[in-house]
Structure 1
Amino acid sequence: MEKESKISQESTEPSQPEKKEGSAMIESRANFDAFEHRPDNFHEIAREQWEDWRWQQQNAIRSYEQLEKVFLNIPEKQLLLAKEWERRGFRFQLTPYMQAIAEKDNEGNPLLTDPIWRQFFPAFDELLTEQEQQAIDEYSPERENWEIAEEMLTPIAHHKYDNRAILYTADVCLGYCNYCLRSLQSKAKEETHGGKAYWQQTMEAIYNHPEIEEVILSGGDPLIYDNATIEKMLKDIREIPSVKAIRIHTRAFTHNPYRIDKEFGKLLKKYAVTEVAIHTTHPNELTKDFQESIDRIRESKARTLLLAQIPLVKGVNDDAELLHRFFMELYASGVKPYYFLHNMPNIPAAASQRTSVKRGLELMNRLGRKISHPAMPEYIIVHRTGKRTVPIEPEGTPEFRYETDQDGHPIIRFKNWKGNWETYIDGKD
């Protein structure tokens, strides 16, 4: 994969967007029907079964052995990468839907350069070096979990900001993207729906903190639960007098869009869910099935905001022209691009999938006023002490400084929302 050129220190003029391997500059997938592109081993499956979200979860690929059975002619190199990824303790999960929307070669095997595939498996030509693996294996809850002890009301309730709490409702996810911090956190955890054990304790804690006005359901992915369980959660939260807003974070729209059924839409309306944050990464994910999941919510007449959180992933979406199309397609579908997140340090695929913060800023500045203002997300970095907006100034500001540490590694020194100076490990282009 070609490296991106570093941003010039002497010029702030935007350069022309590069067409890189893996950018996947293809036509819109608004009419892409995943059922019509299902893998060969699912050709006998009827549409009704295909669109059953539970069936999708039950038939997901979770091991390299399953990968080999589904893609019979998969190149040995891809299989070895998946096997090594699994050996090192990292999870992956590809629903039949995700298998269908991945770009494939003439023999029906996913391309290593496919932007969907790259989100789940190492996308580099060689396996991680021992040094890179050591950086991953040094994971510890104190350093990388970001669940700072004094901020945890219960083992699943994180009260970082004054008026809101995020609830880690499950240890499992719909996909385990290899650029996700939560994926790293789940590495050493058993595959359980861990939030249930602490639910009543959590409701009591929020009740006793009347400053909490918003509750955020996160995970893993809360939509791994069925609608009956989701309703129980929403009902309990709505019985707390101080709570004015409820938010749900999920990857279901792009990993298993059939999970967004009519009953779920009715729950959003019944319990006045304020926002659903849709996690998405590439325009290839915006299929006909994706749009139909959005439409089911609209048909429920729920007044729920639909906002997108989009990570910046090298080799997947670090291209201005692609982002232009992506942001506008989301906006046109009724989803506002809200956050554009720089990939965090020490994620499983940090060595291959993190750009520099300046690279993301360059991309945002290229877009500038070329696209509709509501379609432009806010570019942020995420630190264990909280989020920080990246200033538009190419060389930073007095409170957001691009520096290097004593070993010459790029870092950012910035003031957080509490006014304290913090250090953020930058990526490299």
Structure 2
Amino acid sequence: MSSTGSLTVEEKRKIALQRAEELKKKIEPYLRASEKIETGFKLSEKFRENKEKIKNLFGATEEEWNDWRWQIRNRISDVETLKKIVNLSEEEIENIKRVSTRYRWAISPYYASLMDPDNPFCPIRMRAIPSIKELTDKYGVPDPMAEEYTSPAPLITRRYPDRLIINVTNQCGMFCRHCQRRRNIGEVDYPAKHEDIEAALEYIRNNPEIRDVLITGGDPLTLEDEKIDWILSELDKIPHVEIKRIGTAAPVTFPQRITDELCKILTKHLPLYINTQFNHPKEVTEEAKEACFKLARAGVALGNQAVLLKGINNDPHVMKKLNHELLRIMVKPYYIFHAKSVQGTTHFVTTVQDGLEIMEQLRGYTSGLAIPWYIINAPEGHGKTPIVPQYLLMVGKEYVLIRNWEGKVFEYPNGFPDD
């Protein structure tokens, strides 16, 4: 291409048109697959029908449905209610009952409205409804991140030099079947005690290297507005805390939580970042869009931390579609986490090759905004490790050998000598 400087404008245009045709052919497989991928926007009418059915089941008004506290109070956690919403075989019913004796489950009515009533392999159902595989897991361990050994103060998890986590509750709008902290879910919801949060804040005050604090749980947005405001205000008073983050699935599992009142609180505490967890394009709905747009208008930066899950999103086209849908609602794809080997969840764990294939089909095939980092959490709390396809093939003194997204190999100067 570098030798084309002497070509005419018409000749250069011909080359450009030929290249454009090559690029069209490269995107065609995704475009064909994309037409068949279910998304929340495509299914809006079906979701509305499901919503009306569930509202009638609960005798709920539209006002109640749109009240996040109603969504939490009416989480579905018994088979008798669930089987009125989705069609379950007798075997599925018995399996759910068996799993319930060991692992807690609960599904917000909103999230249940996204389920396909007839398809047991619906990604929403797989993420939310217990599977008998949870009881036959031979490989998982309760705490693969060794969080209990990285907690120097109540509620604190610290694995890095300049940042840490505060776990403020075990409560969620919906308990994901792949949850990394299922050992903390217990049988009842319990927000952290005020004195324990105070102790966590005191630890942060006494460690001036901490500049970044992540508030997580459970889901911290299940706390009342006043508690969220208080925690953020206390962090704002600490001079060395530069940014706050909140990890929440609320825009995914009960977007009604993102109220105007909450946004007024959050906008007082900028810079503030929210990372959420959309795992499939079906979850990117009109309601999720409204919630994320509210947060964006409040000045909150939004990112997504998907988890690579077998049978749900371990497909390059599905993951690309998810990332495209996220950008439409102001959410930047941030991480794809390789699923952790948590006890009762390893049926979701894919091969690392699945993740690498997805990354190969993102880089160059879509915009950089739609490309997250693929991350494996090193065992026993040793930190996030980025896993990337091999693009740097060799490093020499005068040049490096690189491979581009199409698999073409190039020599590239390794700097230039001083004159």
Q: TM-score range by the shorter chain?
A: 0.7 to 0.9
Contact map agreement 1:169 1:219 (CA 8 A) in 2 = yes
Alignment match, 2:107: 94
Tell me how far 1:188 sits from its aligned partner. Answer: 4.6
Alignment match, 2:283: 285
- TM (norm. structure 1) is 0.77
Alignment match, 2:341: 345
Contact map agreement 1:95 1:256 (CA 8 A) in 2 = yes
Is the partner of 1:128 in helix, strand or coil? helix
Letter in 2 for 1:160: R
How far apart in 2 are the matches of 1:77 and 1:147? 36
Alignment match, 1:409: none
Contact map agreement 1:262 1:297 (CA 8 A) in 2 = no
Is the partner of 1:339 in helix, strand or coil? strand
Question: Equivalent residues in 2 for 1:206-225 (5 A)?
Answer: 206-225=204-223
Is the partner of 2:247 in helix, strand or coil? strand
Alignment match, 1:360: 355
Tell me how far 1:197 sits from its aligned partner. Answer: 4.0
1:119 to 111, 115, 127: 127
Contact map agreement 1:91 1:187 (CA 8 A) in 2 = yes
The ranges of structure 1 where at least 4 consecutive aligned residues each deviate by more than 6 angstroms after the TM superposition are: 394-397
How far apart in 1 are the matches of 2:104 and 2:366? 37
How far apart in 1 are the matches of 2:195 and 2:106? 24
Question: Equivalent residues in 2 for 1:8-407 (5 A)?
Answer: 25-27=37-39, 29=41, 32=44, 34-38=47-51, 40-43=53-56, 44-68=59-83, 70-71=84-85, 74-87=88-101, 89-105=102-118, 111-122=119-130, 127-128=132-133, 132-133=136-137, 135-136=139-140, 139=142, 143-144=143-144, 146-149=146-149, 151-182=150-181, 184-188=182-186, 190-300=188-298, 302=299, 304-351=300-347, 353-383=348-378, 384-393=381-390
Is the partner of 1:341 in helix, strand or coil? strand
Tell me how far 1:189 sits from its aligned partner. Answer: 6.5
Letter in 2 for 1:282: H
How far apart in 1 are the matches of 2:312 and 2:392? 25
Contact map agreement 1:169 1:196 (CA 8 A) in 2 = no
> How has the CA–CA distance of structure 1 residues 359 and 190 changed in structure 2, closer, same or farther, with 3 Å as cutoff?
same
How far apart in 1 are the matches of 2:51 and 2:382? 43
> How has the CA–CA distance of structure 1 residues 189 and 63 changed in structure 2, closer, same or farther, with 3 Å as cutoff?
closer
Tell me how far 1:312 sits from its aligned partner. Answer: 0.5
How far apart in 2 are the matches of 1:359 and 1:36? 35
- TM (norm. structure 2) is 0.79
How far apart in 1 are the matches of 2:189 and 2:310? 29
Letter in 1 for 2:100: E
How far apart in 2 are the matches of 1:73 and 1:327? 30
Contact map agreement 2:54 2:109 (CA 8 A) in 1 = no
Is the partner of 2:350 in helix, strand or coil? coil
5+ residue gaps, structure 2, are: 1-25, 395-419
Among all aligned residue pairs of Structure 1 and Structure 2, give the percentage whose two residues are the same amino acid. Answer: 26
How far apart in 1 are the matches of 2:91 and 2:195? 41
How far apart in 2 are the matches of 1:190 and 1:261? 25
Tell me how far 1:64 sits from its aligned partner. Answer: 2.5
> How has the CA–CA distance of structure 1 residues 357 and 134 changed in structure 2, closer, same or farther, with 3 Å as cutoff?
closer
How far apart in 2 are the matches of 1:67 and 1:395? 51
Contact map agreement 2:303 2:332 (CA 8 A) in 1 = yes
Q: Which has the higher helix share?
A: 2
Tell me how far 1:327 sits from its aligned partner. Answer: 0.6
